[in-house]
Amino acid sequence: MQIIGNPNVNNTCNVQSPVSFNGYLGNEYVRAYGRHINLRHETAFFREADTLEYIKDYLIRTFPNIAVKNILIGACSTGEDGLSMKMIMNKVPSRIVAFDLGKVAIKRAKAGYYSISRPIDKTGEEYISNWGLSAYDDRFLAFDSSKKLTKKEVQYRKAFNKIFKEVKTDKSRKGILNRIKLFLNSFTEFHFIETDSKFFKLKGLRKLNYEYLQGDIRDLDKITNGEKFLAFTFRNAFYHLITTNDDFRMQLSEKQTREILKRILPQINKALEMKGLFAIGKNENEQVCDMILLTKMLKEYGFKESVFDSNQPYCHIWKKVREC
């Protein structure tokens, strides 16, 4: 059982994203883009699952003659996004290549140890709050509750149990407790909840036709090495590229942002087959990008809007319609 804090409490560290240790390594600092970046590997299984479901259905419909569907997962963190895509593809043959800028994140992803957590109250009952702790959204994979599982949740749970086995040793959190203590000590005000966790080991990547790479999206050509993909996801991660300081997320100027996009968008276009999909995620706050500029430049570099979410003012799934 771990103690974590209320992620919505304002504090002197200016932490703006949810705090979770479900797929969360603590802060991994890397040197990239001419600065030190604080990578926050905060994620969960089946995050924005409807996007992944759309990709699956689209690939089956659009590329019926391509037997194995090649999918590229960028900003994969500790692997939850790519593994979720693989589980959703299920019996549809697919090959997943997942990459992240963080060396520590990729090392943990390759190790294949994960924890599934749920918040609980003092009596040990599941704690339901209004905090919107999205990293707990995958708790249905390991815990039963009074809430009846949806049809999709039942399906995802079966897929999860097919490729994971439960283990008693918490290898996924090796070395993390000191990080938690340091993190808590950095706050002037904090409220606490408890979490109940179960731990799982991936049965094997090789059988899944799945590969992890450490890489930089600015050098996507090196990652793909000439290989073409039917879909590429880089979800809610543009802040890595276009902010001056990741802790405070001060956005670069329009000119600077444009120069960065001019470098990466042609490589994304090149990596995709014609009619291939590029998914950027639904969380506008996490993007911290000028979405009007991004939308304009995606069109300039051969993409067309494919899917809008009713809660967002921008398109979060794009289709390649021409070479650039």
| Contact predicate 321/298, CB 8 Å | no
- Specify if 22 maps to a domain: no
pLDDT at 86 over 90: yes
CA separation (Å) from 93 to 72, 86, 89, 234, 294?
Answer: 14, 9, 7, 22, 32
If one compares 91 and 7, the residue with the highest pLDDT of the two is 91
Q: Within its chain, how far is the Cα of 306 from the centroid?
A: 20
Number of domains in the chain: 1
Q: Confidence band (pLDDT; 50, 70, 90) for 212?
A: very high
How much of the chain exceeds pLDDT 90, in percent?
Answer: 47
What was the pLDDT predicted at 102?
A: 87
pLDDT tens per residue across span 54-78: 999 999 999 999 999 999 999 998 8
Q: What is the mean pLDDT of residues 304-324?
A: 88
- Specify if 216 maps to a domain: yes
- Specify if 281 maps to a domain: yes
- Specify if 292 maps to a domain: yes
Owning domain of residue 219: 47-112+206-320
Amino acid identity of residue 116, one-letter, is I
**Highest mean pLDDT: which of 145-159, 215-229, 279-293?**
215-229
> How many other C-beta atoms can be found within 10 angstroms of the C-beta atom of residue 222?
11
Task: Quote the CA–CA distance of 221 and 264 in Å, as a whole number.
Answer: 9
Which CATH number characterizes residue 251's domain?
3.40.50.150
- Specify if 1 maps to a domain: no
Q: Within its chain, how far is the Cα of 216 from the centroid?
A: 15
pTM of the model: 0.83
pLDDT at 259 over 90: yes
Which of these ranges, 101-105, 184-188, 198-202, 253-257, has the smallest mean pLDDT? 184-188
Q: What is the mean pLDDT of residues 44-54?
A: 94
- Specify if 18 maps to a domain: no
- Specify if 155 maps to a domain: no
pLDDT at 289 over 60: yes
What was the pLDDT predicted at 93?
A: 97
Full 3-state SS string of the chain: CEEEECCCCCCCCCCCCCCCCCCCCCEEEEEECCEEEEEECCCCCCCCHHHHHHHHHHHHHHCCCCCCEEEEECCCCCCHHHHHHHHHHCCCCEEEEEEECCHHHHHHHHHCEEEEEEEECCCCCECCCCCCCHHHCCHHHCCCCCCCCCHHHHHHHHHHHHHEEEECCCHHHCCCHHHHHHHHHCCCCCCEEEEEEEEEEECCCHHHCEEEEECCHHHHHHHHCCCCEEEEECCCCCHHHHECCCCCCCECCHHHHHHHHHHHHHHHHHHEEEEEEEECCCCHHHHCCCHHHHHHHHHHCCEEEEEECCCCCCEEEEEECCCC
What was the pLDDT predicted at 144?
A: 80
Mean pLDDT across the chain: 79
Which of these ranges, 6-10, 23-27, 45-49, 306-310, has the smallest mean pLDDT? 6-10
Q: Confidence band (pLDDT; 50, 70, 90) for 25?
A: very low
**Highest mean pLDDT: which of 26-30, 56-60, 118-122?**
56-60
pLDDT at 90 over 50: yes
CA quadruple 282, 287, 288, 292: dihedral positive or negative?
negative
Task: Quote the CA–CA distance of 249 and 242 in Å, as a whole number.
Answer: 9
Task: Quote the CA–CA distance of 236 and 75 in Å, as a whole number.
Answer: 9
Six token digits for residue 310 = 């009713």
What was the pLDDT predicted at 170?
A: 59
- Specify if 201 maps to a domain: no
186-213 burial code (b ≥16 CB/10 A, e <16): ebeeeeebbbbbbbbbbeebeebebebe
